[in-house]
Structure 1
Amino acid sequence: MHKDALHRLAKQAMDSGRVSSVEQAMGLLRSLHLNVYVGPEIEDSRSLQAALATIINTGRRTFVGGVHVVASEDYTVDIPWSQSTSLSGLARKFGANWLSSAKESAPSIILGGVQSEGLVGSRKIQVTFDGWTASVTPWRRGRLPERDTYPVAGVLAGAMAVSEAFLSQWTRNALAGERKLEVCLWPHIGDQIEPPTALLLPAKLWIVGLGHLGQAVLWTLGLLPYKHPDEVSFVLQDFDKISESNDSTCLLTDSQGFDKKKSRWIAERCEEVGFQTTICERLFSEETSPQGDEPELCLCLPDNMAAREALATGRFRYSIEAGLGDSHETFMQFGVHTFPGVIDPTSLGGDNRHKSIEVNSLPPAYQVLGDKVEACGLVELAGVAVGAPFVGTVAACFVVSELVRLLNGGPLFDIIQGDLRNLDDITFVEKRKVPTPYNYGFVESIS
């Protein structure tokens, strides 16, 4: 077993001591199924379509046994990443089973209004939203007004629903899927303005790191209501290749991209949506800086300390950094930080891969591999981050929303921190010093 082939949730089972082999970990994942029921409202709601696409895309990487999409008819949808105008095409594009039999023992996620006849599931989780607010709630406990003004709320609600479904199966969390969760991406603080109906959307971004978080951010950006996506340009910076393990967390990755440069593969996906791209295949360092009319807004999304330290040079006018928990205990946690701000980028810490690991202290699943893998290989395997695609997607919604609020005069934050096991307790630290107004590059949204 090579570290680049390991499913990141299988590693969670291995590290926690829940299983005694890689095969048992993958068997657990293959036992997971997810049902998705879709109502007719999907045709007229960008936010519901964003939620559905996110559920399928994160779901098939999490519920390895299969995602089963059920609807009374093949509704029309318009998802930029899909290149399909049918619900069946969307389902198949992202690896779901269309009109297959739902599993009674599996959790079910419901979008829109569906009839109770034939609806099965161990949990029945309703996705709902209203403007900038995302919510999941037990089925038939009431839906929000579902005003369709900000599709990122749909992305967030979809990721939250997958998280609740996963927790209900993986950890047997009694509350997951049986509680109401509600998160607003435009937090109301003091006398801050309300979000405008016609939004200004980011048009020029330098995006560093095209793995789990980077692809989740691009996925979310691609679901914003851009009127003219060809007026949007990204500098995409990464030097790694796509590996098999990336498919377990990265939303723009599939098997056709294995062993290809991330920057080139992701640039192709972005250009299919209509975005303009420039690629950079160098390390992000203290010397990295925008030249000429290149973006001065940086999204720093790799999981290493060196990249975070490079932000301290202040070569970008404004930067947003995000990170995820990487152990079997912390993998549901996320954090977002903005610079300049109260946090020093060098204080954030980095990846877990260079910590000292004693082979003899590794959990049983690693000991079994001892006959097949050399000690250095076991250490490399143990140093791989645990990850779940829906966690990165939740973090991405906060990153993208921080960008959109910046461009639209909304509240800004130095720090946002949360844990998907308790989304009622997200920490927001309001920015003490509001950035000087500056044109970072923007385009209008579809009204």
Structure 2
Amino acid sequence: MTALIDHTRLHRTAKYFMDSGRAVTHDDAMDILRGFGASIRVGPEAATSIAHQVALLTLVNLSRRTLLGGVEVLGAPDAPLLIPLARARSLADAVVELGGTLATTGNPLWPVAQIGTVLPSGDITAWQLTWQGWRGGVVPRHDTRRLSDDTANPLAAAVAAAATAAELFAWHAKDHPMAGRRAAGLSVWNPGADWLGQDASEPVLSYLPSSLWLIGLGNLGQAFAWLLTCLPYADRSKVELTLQDYDLIADSNDSTSLLSSLPLVGAKKTRVVASWLEAAGFNTALEERRFGLWTLRGPHDPAVAFCGVDNASTRADLGSAKFELVVETGLGAGPGGFRNFSLHTFPSSRRPDQIWRREDVGSALDVSSMPAYSALRESGLDTCGLAQLASRTVGVPFVGLIAAALALSEPLRRLHGAGGVELASGSALNLDDIECIRLPFSAYAFGYLPAL
């Protein structure tokens, strides 16, 4: 069984336990993940609130990919689905479609995430999701601080879900002593600011970008598409999205990418993401070649690009395609850095090819001597397959969603009169400590639509 594992079938979160030495085989790493689970308790607000539905469905989608013991939802109302994050018509059916299980009695050994007004219980560990305006996060049950849980900006509810998924994973993995005992959240209007405090500078979300080019449709690109659907467009049919990727869905994408699932393995990522976005009402155009020096934006193509790829060569070429604004997001690697994320925007003080070299292949940590890889070698995996497996990065979907929320908030901030961010860097382990280099305000002249 172990010998059948290769880089396309590897669960990218299981690799964390392989690379850190905590699992001596791939099967052991999967068994660790099968011991992780969560109960989500939902209040009555989810029947009529888009933001509460965004929080619930985002948390289910994120958690089921890393908590392989199961994600059970208690109290999900059999109400109409108000946001097209699933094909189902009811919220309860959407929970099941996205990998959750409807339950009436929670597993007493699993931690609990509460959304909305939920009666207190005697669970071992519980969190409360909370959000307001452009800010969202999670607080432990004993913390009485709450935000208004409004519908002003659904990105805040999605960020609250991602922060919760990060805390759930850290609690189970036992790799952060404060998991379950602290508040964790983020302001996408003012990254690094106190997300639980009031921010008088936050505007009402009134304008949304009308056209975007998405480069890379893996973990980051699919999180970006998910968040675009959360935004309150009055008419999604007026939004033009160009989707660029050349790759196919693999088994491993199911562990990291929000629109991927095992039945879709072998399909082109562009077709999968386009089908999902078009079902939500967006217009899409496909570019199924690699991005590089040969890629050139035409006069009627989107002027703003979002890039979420994991190689230096593609990033180095971002300055040659004649985009007016590029928002590039990257994720950390290795057992010590997989929760890290960064954001660059261009034009800025440095060109992309000054930050990344085309010949740079990175300096990945060599984990091939860890017990799990020795076991794979002994089971018959050849040297080439072992090298491919060892070179893949650890991946979790909640970090990709946090990074994508920061990226999507970049054009939103500029549309609402704020300066841009040239560089941002942070970690899902400490969302309060995001470092930013900011840019002065310049008018966003790349097309917008009114928010609903």
Please list, as runs of the form range in 1=range in 2, the aligned pairs for 1:345-360 lying within 5 A after superposition: 345-349=352-356, 355=363
Aligned CA distance change for structure 1 residues 18 and 348 (closer, same or farther; 3 Å): farther
CA offset at residue 314 of structure 1?
Answer: 5.9
Within the alignment, does 1:143 sit opposite 2:146 as a pair? yes
The CA deviation string for residues 45-93 of structure 1, in whole angstroms up to 9 with x for no partner, is 2222211111000010010111000017434441212133423112111
Q: 1:194 aligns with which of 192, 201, 215?
A: 201
Within the alignment, does 1:420 sit opposite 2:428 as a pair? yes
CA offset at residue 283 of structure 1?
Answer: 1.1
Aligned CA distance change for structure 1 residues 72 and 413 (closer, same or farther; 3 Å): closer
| Structure 1 partner of 2:196 | none
Please list, as runs of the form range in 1=range in 2, the aligned pairs for 1:80-119 lying within 5 A after superposition: 80-99=84-103, 101-116=105-120, 119=121
CA offset at residue 187 of structure 1?
Answer: 1.5
| Structure 2 partner of 1:304 | 311
Question: What is the SS of the residue equivalent to 1:114?
Answer: coil
Within the alignment, does 1:25 sit opposite 2:29 as a pair? yes
The CA deviation string for residues 156-194 of structure 1, in whole angstroms up to 9 with x for no partner, is 00000110111011125331121122421111999x983
The AA in structure 2 aligned to 1:268 is S
| Structure 2 partner of 1:443 | 449
Q: 2:267 aligns with which of 246, 260, 266?
A: 260
Aligned CA distance change for structure 1 residues 253 and 58 (closer, same or farther; 3 Å): same
Q: 2:283 aligns with which of 276, 280, 284?
A: 276
Q: 2:40 aligns with which of 17, 27, 36?
A: 36
Aligned CA distance change for structure 1 residues 274 and 412 (closer, same or farther; 3 Å): same
CA offset at residue 23 of structure 1?
Answer: 0.4
CA distance in 1, matches of 2:24, 2:360: 23
| Structure 2 partner of 1:154 | 157
Identity of aligned residues (%): 34
Of the structure 1 ranges 179-188 and 409-418, higher mean CA displacement relative to structure 2 is found in 179-188
The CA deviation string for residues 285-340 of structure 1, in whole angstroms up to 9 with x for no partner, is 12312113110101111111111111132611110000000211100000011001
CA contact (8 A) 1:193 1:409 kept: no
Question: What is the SS of the residue equivalent to 1:210?
Answer: coil
Q: 2:257 aligns with which of 239, 243, 250?
A: 250
Within the alignment, does 1:429 sit opposite 2:432 as a pair? no
Of the structure 1 ranges 233-242 and 72-81, higher mean CA displacement relative to structure 2 is found in 72-81
CA contact (8 A) 1:53 1:79 kept: no
Of the structure 1 ranges 288-297 and 244-253, higher mean CA displacement relative to structure 2 is found in 288-297
| Structure 2 partner of 1:71 | 75
The AA in structure 2 aligned to 1:386 is V
Of the structure 1 ranges 140-149 and 413-422, higher mean CA displacement relative to structure 2 is found in 140-149
CA offset at residue 409 of structure 1?
Answer: 1.4
| Structure 2 partner of 1:385 | 393
Within the alignment, does 1:128 sit opposite 2:130 as a pair? yes
CA contact (8 A) 2:159 2:185 kept: no
| Structure 2 partner of 1:61 | 65
Within the alignment, does 1:184 sit opposite 2:187 as a pair? yes
Question: What is the SS of the residue equivalent to 1:58?
Answer: helix
CA contact (8 A) 1:352 1:385 kept: no
CA distance in 2, matches of 1:22, 1:409: 50
- Runs of 5+ unmatched residues, structure 1: none
CA distance in 2, matches of 1:101, 1:376: 48
CA contact (8 A) 1:337 1:343 kept: no
| Structure 1 partner of 2:413 | 405
Question: What is the SS of the residue equivalent to 2:257?
Answer: coil
Within the alignment, does 1:229 sit opposite 2:232 as a pair? no
CA distance in 1, matches of 2:366, 2:342: 29
CA contact (8 A) 2:113 2:129 kept: yes
The CA deviation string for residues 6-42 of structure 1, in whole angstroms up to 9 with x for no partner, is 0001111000000100000000111111110000122
CA contact (8 A) 1:110 1:125 kept: yes
- Runs of 5+ unmatched residues, structure 2: 194-198
CA contact (8 A) 1:22 1:365 kept: yes
TM-score with structure 2 setting the length = 0.92
The AA in structure 1 aligned to 2:131 is F
Aligned CA distance change for structure 1 residues 252 and 443 (closer, same or farther; 3 Å): same
| Structure 2 partner of 1:396 | 404
CA contact (8 A) 2:424 2:435 kept: yes
The AA in structure 1 aligned to 2:171 is S
Question: What is the SS of the residue equivalent to 1:115?
Answer: coil
Of the structure 1 ranges 72-81 and 131-140, higher mean CA displacement relative to structure 2 is found in 72-81
Aligned CA distance change for structure 1 residues 61 and 120 (closer, same or farther; 3 Å): farther
Aligned CA distance change for structure 1 residues 356 and 426 (closer, same or farther; 3 Å): closer
The AA in structure 1 aligned to 2:124 is S
CA distance in 2, matches of 1:112, 1:182: 17
Of the structure 1 ranges 340-349 and 146-155, higher mean CA displacement relative to structure 2 is found in 340-349
Aligned CA distance change for structure 1 residues 4 and 14 (closer, same or farther; 3 Å): same
CA offset at residue 255 of structure 1?
Answer: 1.6
CA offset at residue 344 of structure 1?
Answer: 3.3
Aligned CA distance change for structure 1 residues 348 and 107 (closer, same or farther; 3 Å): farther
Aligned CA distance change for structure 1 residues 120 and 95 (closer, same or farther; 3 Å): farther
CA distance in 2, matches of 1:39, 1:318: 41
Question: What is the SS of the residue equivalent to 1:136?
Answer: strand
| Structure 2 partner of 1:205 | 212
| Structure 2 partner of 1:175 | 178
Aligned CA distance change for structure 1 residues 88 and 189 (closer, same or farther; 3 Å): closer
